[in-house]
């Protein structure tokens, strides 16, 4: 089925360009409609007749952000994609606050980027609708439980009235009393998911029965005359005092319902006074309904909703990060590929080589991004395991240092030092190498030209420590708590490319080999990372 697009732009040339870009998309069918003024666009949006809306930032006297904000207020969620003449963080933030799902810079996006933005925006709105559906279902369940509670309270009130009537009848006919007690005992004994209790003013048992007693290995006859704590337990003084307070309120004529956790079980207690023929309250009725299974089900639903919310947040952060991190290398590759074709004679060879190097660099960058994503996937799926072997870790350190020197910046050296008595270690060589590559790559990337990077191996009797030191930009102190979160990047790294996955991957590798990781960093001074692993030299 074709995806309907509404372009809102007062420039016909931009419409023609956008239409041509959409016609380049062959994997899906798109139908584009165009409106060039604010009022008609507003009316058309309210019809909800399109799957996605491309809105120009400038629309005469009003801007595209205003039409997005007003549409969202009136119940149209879009998705909206803002088209702007400039790309910056401020425009991005304003667009997201207004209700846009993405924004594209005019003249710089191609068919692939436009199709991806449209597809991701539609997927995102579908995720939001699904969450809203789940919320509605949860509210319906709450209403159902509330209705059930009202029915229970109603039944309790009827039972209370019935018990009062039975007390009055007892004064008139002893036989009727015995028949009533027999019926009452039968009902209580078969009470399916809890227990029915009657207490005197001393809060001792006058009556108790129900299938809950069997679950708790209690016998009804043995509880008569015992205090209420025998059933409800003495988990804590606070719990006992709270229950006692509610029961005493019931003796004052209040009908109460409250929830308690006793012996790892959750109970919903319905309390009602039992007046005698003179309307004096000498006993109270307490119906204890075991709702443990219901609470577990509610908790599972809550956890599922939280998990869904977390997944959607991760997807959103991934889309945002990927769109930025893939866009620049792809644009560079595209422009260099186009320029190479222009240098056809021998004199253009140096320029061709320059653009070939740019393409290689950016392809390697994209390859690193994809490797990070694949690594996270394998770690989450449990496909990465620890396979220790005896190997020369110092030899590995020198090899990695030489490899990373090729990535070093101008006048920057990667230095390798060993402290203590070198020895072979019984560890997973591949995981240790990946840790070194990640840490040294970060140290080089976040250090300026001319600032050396240090890799130190520290050997002790029962441990081995990897120490990586740089004199780079450092990490703000208030952001260091988030360092190991997926996709997290400190605010001072905005202009430096990266996925925010490196330290998350390193921590998981370190956990696999049974090590610990510590970080010390100061803004504009540098960062030091220690990874310490208990060593076992016996294969």
Q: Is residue 3 part of a domain?
A: yes
> Which CATH number characterizes residue 247's domain?
3.30.450.20
- Token couple for 389: 């072997």
* 15 and 127 co-located in one domain: yes
One domain, residues 100 and 227: no
Tokens of 90: 């401020």
Regarding whether 505 and 390 lie in a shared domain, the answer is yes
Predicted pLDDT at 327: 53
Q: Can you give the residue range of the structural domain that contains 438?
A: 384-534
Residue 286 host element (H or E):
strand 281-290
CA atoms within a 13 Å half-sphere pointing along the CA-CB vector of 194: 18
Same domain, 423 and 521: yes
Q: Are residues 101 and 196 in the same domain?
A: no
**How far is residue 482's CA from residue 504's CA, in Å, rounded to a whole number?**
10
Residue 481 CA to residue 479 CA, distance in Å, equals 5
Evaluate whether residue 342 is within a structural domain: no
Domain identity same for 406 and 527: yes
Residue 492: predicted pLDDT:
64
What distance in Å separates the CA atoms of residue 327 and residue 103, rounded to the nearest whole number? 13
Is residue 388 located within the same domain as residue 530?
yes
Cβ–Cβ under 8 Å, residues 509 and 431: yes
Spatial distance between the Cα atoms of 101 and 95, rounded to a whole number of angstroms: 8
Among residues 242, 260, 290, the one where a domain terminates is 290
* 328 within domain boundaries: no
Within 8 A by CB and 6+ apart from 333, the residues are 358, 359, 362, 363
Residues 198 and 104 in one domain: no
pLDDT in tens, the chain (539 residues): 888 888 888 888 888 888 888 888 888 888 899 998 888 888 888 888 888 988 887 776 677 788 888 888 888 877 888 888 766 667 667 777 777 878 788 878 888 888 888 888 888 888 777 777 887 888 888 788 878 778 877 777 787 777 777 766 556 545 544 554 555 566 655 566 788 889 999 889 888 888 777 777 888 888 888 888 877 765 567 778 888 888 899 999 888 888 888 777 888 888 999 888 788 898 999 888 888 888 888 888 888 787 767 655 555 555 555 555 555 566 666 666 766 767 767 767 777 667 676 676 556 555 555 555 556 556 666 667 778 899 999 999 999 999 888 888 888 899 999 999 999 999 989 888 888 988 898 888 888 888 999 999 999 988 999 999 998 888 888 887 777 776 666 676 666 666 667 777 888 888 888 899 999 988 888 899 999 998 865 54
Q: Which of the listed residues 260, 290, 320 is the one where a domain comes to its end? A: 290
Q: DSSP letters along 105-133, please?
A: ETTT--HHHHHHHHHHHHHHHHHHHHHHH
Answer whether the bond into residue 79 is a cis peptide, omega within 30°. yes
- Same domain as 2, residue 93: yes
Q: Are 500 and 491 in contact (CB under 8 A)?
A: no
Q: Do 267 and 390 reside in the same domain of the chain?
A: no
In the listed set 290, 307, 338, which residue is the last one of a domain according to the structure? 290
Q: Would 345 be classed as within a structural domain? A: no
Judge whether 23 lies within some domain.
yes
CA-to-CA distance for 408 and 454, rounded, in angstroms?
12
- The whole-model pTM stands at 0.40
User: Is 509 inside any structural domain?
Assistant: yes
Measured distance CA(344)–CA(87) in Å, rounded: 34
* Total of domains in the chain: 3
Q: Do 391 and 530 lie in a common domain?
A: yes
- Residue 498, helix vs strand vs coil: coil
In a domain, 393, yes or no: yes
What's the CATH code of the domain at 57?
A: 3.40.50.2300
- What pLDDT score does 107 carry? 77
265 domain residue, yes or no:
yes
Same domain, 394 and 489: yes
- 3 state SS for 337-381: HHHHCCCCCHHHHHHHHHHHHHHHHHHHHHHHHHHHHHHHHHHHH
Sign of the C-alpha dihedral computed for residues 370, 375, 377 and 378 taken in this order:
positive
């Amino acid at each position: 089925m074709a995806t309907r697009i509404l372009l809102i732009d007062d420039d016909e040339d931009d419409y023609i360009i956008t239409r041509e870009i959409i016609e380049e998309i062959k994997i899906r069918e798109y139908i584009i409609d165009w409106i060039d003024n604010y009022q008609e666009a507003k009316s058309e949006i309210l019809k909800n007749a399109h799957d996605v809306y491309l809105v120009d930032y400038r629309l005469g006297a009003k801007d595209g952000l205003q039409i997005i904000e007003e549409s969202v207020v009136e119940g149209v969620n879009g998705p909206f994609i803002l088209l702007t003449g400039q790309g910056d963080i401020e425009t991005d933030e304003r667009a997201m606050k207004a209700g846009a799902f993405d924004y594209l810079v005019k003249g710089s996006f191609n068919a692939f980027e436009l199709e991806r933005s449209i597809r991701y925006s539609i997927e995102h709105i579908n995720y939001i609708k699904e969450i809203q559906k789940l919320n509605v279902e949860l509210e319906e369940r709450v209403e159902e439980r509330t209705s059930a509670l009202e029915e229970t309270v109603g039944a309790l009130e009827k039972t209370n009235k019935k018990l009062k009537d039975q007390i009055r009848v007892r004064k008139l006919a002893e036989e009727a009393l015995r028949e009533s007690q027999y019926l009452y005992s039968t009902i209580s004994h078969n009470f399916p998911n809890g227990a029915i209790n009657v207490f005197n003013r001393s809060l001792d048992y006058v009556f108790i029965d129900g299938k809950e007693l069997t679950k708790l290995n209690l016998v009804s006859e043995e509880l008569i005359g015992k205090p209420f704590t025998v059933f409800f337990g003495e988990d804590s003084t606070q719990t006992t005092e709270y229950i006692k307070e509610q029961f005493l309120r019931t003796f004052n004529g209040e009908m109460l319902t409250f929830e308690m956790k006793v012996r790892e079980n959750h109970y919903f207690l319905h309390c009602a006074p039992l007046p005698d023929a003179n309307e004096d309250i000498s006993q109270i009725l307490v119906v204890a309904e075991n709702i443990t299974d219901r609470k577990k089900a509610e908790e599972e639903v809550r956890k599922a909703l939280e998990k869904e919310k977390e997944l959607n947040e991760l997807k959103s952060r991934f889309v945002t990060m990927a769109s930025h991190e893939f866009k620049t290398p792809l644009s560079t590759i595209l422009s260099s590929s186009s320029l190479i074709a222009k240098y056809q004679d021998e004199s253009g060879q140096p320029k061709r080589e320059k653009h070939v190097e740019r393409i290689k660099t950016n392809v390697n960058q994209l390859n690193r991004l994809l490797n990070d994503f694949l690594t996270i996937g394998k770690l989450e799926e449990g496909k990465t395991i620890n396979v220790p072997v005896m190997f020369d870790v110092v030899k590995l350190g020198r090899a990695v240092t030489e490899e990373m020197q090729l990535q070093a910046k101008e006048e920057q050296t990667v230095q390798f030092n060993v402290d203590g008595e070198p020895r072979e270690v019984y560890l997973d060589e591949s995981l240790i190498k990946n840790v070194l590559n990640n840490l040294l790559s970060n140290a080089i990337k976040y250090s300026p030209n001319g600032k050396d990077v240090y890799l130190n191996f520290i050997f002790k009797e029962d441990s081995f420590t990897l120490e990586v030191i740089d004199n780079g930009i450092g990490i703000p102190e208030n952001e260091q708590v988030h360092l190991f979160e997926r996709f997290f990047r400190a605010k001072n790294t905005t202009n430096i490319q990266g996925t925010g996955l490196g330290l998350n991957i390193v921590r998981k590798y370190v956990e696999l080999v049974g090590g610990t990781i510590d970080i010390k960093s100061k803004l504009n001074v540098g960062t030091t990372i220690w990874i310490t692993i208990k060593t076992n030299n016996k294969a």
